Amino acid sequence: MTNLTKAHDELYRRGPDETFPTMQALWDHCYRQKEQSADRWHAPSALSTRVDNHTLVLAMGNDGAFSLNDWSFSQLCRLADVSKDTVNRLSPATASTVLAETLPAGNKPFQILTHEDRVRSLHGASYTRLWNVDLLSMIREFATDFQPPQQAVTSGTGLYAGEQDLFVFLIDPLGWIEIEGENYAPGFFVWNSEVGRRALGCQTFWFQAVCQNHIVWDATDITEYTRKHTARVNEGLGEIRAMIEAIVAKRDARKDGFATVIRKAMETKLGNDAEDAFKELCKNGIARSVAKEAVTLAQEKGRFTVWSVVDALTKLSQSSRFAGDRTASDQEAAQLLTLVT
């Protein structure tokens, strides 16, 4: 089993302005970003840098001039093949001259994403964007029982979106099933970037606990998928949907199967009387003294079904002083359920 730290890492790198209280609030934010953003295609010859009010801006032909955020400035420096740290040490006027002389020429247009008066990202023609709101819409449709974990010690929620990327951490707190004798619930992480900061990705898992630092403890059955933002990135929505549907189907199958076992256990007699039930318990490895007490408790309810005897054994185990003894007793009691499977 593995401890997963993706959500923990996100928790400590996100500020309050990147943290959202609910999926609806996050969806609304991403929807507004998509509606207020625009892709602009310009040949390199149409791009130029200049200084406006002591700030470096990027001019794009007839579209006008736009300011740069940290990410788009980094991309601009990479396109020009100059060090961002070096350009940052220059005056705006000198930086504009350096970039004007080093930005690439050619005929292939650049894809420039703007939001209001600011550049969010710059890419070549091969980049394909997947909008965060489209990813969230799919999640809301196919992960209806999932919700964020408990709020972290820093007030982090597991729901994050900033200038560069999105990260979502969801669990099904009522989806507990048994895997190899241990209880697990399903959960998943998804991430994306509309501006090329990171690939599209998803990680699904089954876990035993989530602490207030959003470390996922004792995870198993971990599956991860990533896809770069190339021409077919939208196919990634289908892949992630299939991953979510898979853990939902496994959860439902296990829960339905367990419910069937319980129904059978409540209907199946372990014996016709106390003596038959006692012999059956001893035959299945239950100590004679414990079997006698369990039969007495079951007899008080007037029946000797598998379920009534398992329930009696479970109650008796709670009187054990040591946790190890209680666990062993509970496992012995649960083993009786195999008589009806």
Q: Are 333 and 317 contacting, i.e. CB atoms less than 8 angstroms apart?
A: yes
- HEC string of 171-214 equals ECCCCCEEECCEEEEEEEEEEECCCCCCCEEEEEEEECEECCCC
Cα distances (angstroms) measured from residue 320 to each of 176, 182, 253, 323? 26, 20, 34, 7
Residues 6+ apart with CB under 8 A from 80: 98, 99, 102, 103, 104
Residue 324 clears pLDDT 50, i.e. is over it: no
Q: What is the chain's length?
A: 341
Best CA proximity match to 278, nearest among 299, 261, 251, 248: 299
Render pLDDT for 77-101 as a digit per residue (tens, 0 to 9). Answer: 998 999 999 999 999 999 999 998 9
8 Å CB contact between 260 and 240: no
Residues 96-106 pLDDT 10s: 999 989 988 87
Domain boundaries, the chain: 2-32+130-255, 44-107, 268-340
Q: What value does the CA radius of gyration of the chain take, rounded to a whole number of Å?
A: 30
Does residue 239 have a pLDDT over 70? yes
56 token code pair: 């470096």
* DSSP string computed for 110-125: EEEEEETTEEEEEE-T
Which distant-in-sequence residues (6+ apart) come within 8 Å of 333 by Cβ? 310, 313, 314, 317
User: Rounded to whole angstroms, how far apart are CA atoms 37 and 35?
Assistant: 6
Cβ contact 186:171 at 8 Å = yes
Environment class of residue 200 by beta-carbon count within 10 Å: exposed (0-12), middle (13-18) or buried (19+)? buried
* Coil vs helix vs strand at 237: helix
Which pLDDT score, from 0 to 100, does residue 272 have? 76
Least confident of 95-99, 193-197, 332-336: 332-336
Which of 177, 243, 222 has its CA nearest to residue 2?
Answer: 222
Dihedral sign for Cα atoms in the order 41, 42, 43, 44:
negative
Decide the pairing of beta strands 65-68 and 118-123.
Answer: parallel
In degrees, rounded to 5, the angle at the alpha carbon of residue 168 between the alpha carbons of residues 164 and 169 is 145
Q: Which residue has the tokens 């979510």?
A: 244
* pLDDT band, residue 320 (cuts 50/70/90): low
Strands 118-123 and 2-4: unpaired
Does residue 180 carry a pLDDT above 80?
Answer: no
Q: For residues 144 and 175, what is the distance between their CA atoms, to the nearest angstrom? A: 12
So what's the pLDDT on residue 159? 98
Tokens coding 18 = 């990147």
- Residue-wise pLDDT for 112-171, tens only, equals 999 999 999 999 888 999 999 999 999 999 999 999 999 998 999 999 999 999 999 999
Q: Is the dihedral of CA 271, 274, 280, 286 positive or negative?
A: positive
Residues 69, 118 contacting (CB under 8 angstroms): yes
Q: What is the mean pLDDT of the chain?
A: 86
- Report helix, strand or coil for 38: strand
Choose the most confident range, by mean pLDDT, from 35-39, 183-187, 219-223, 299-303.
35-39
Between CA 20 and CA 7 the distance in angstroms is 14
Residue 65 near residue 116, CB atoms below 8 Å = no
Q: Which residue carries 């012999």 as its tokens?
A: 279
Q: Is the pTM of this model over 0.85?
A: no
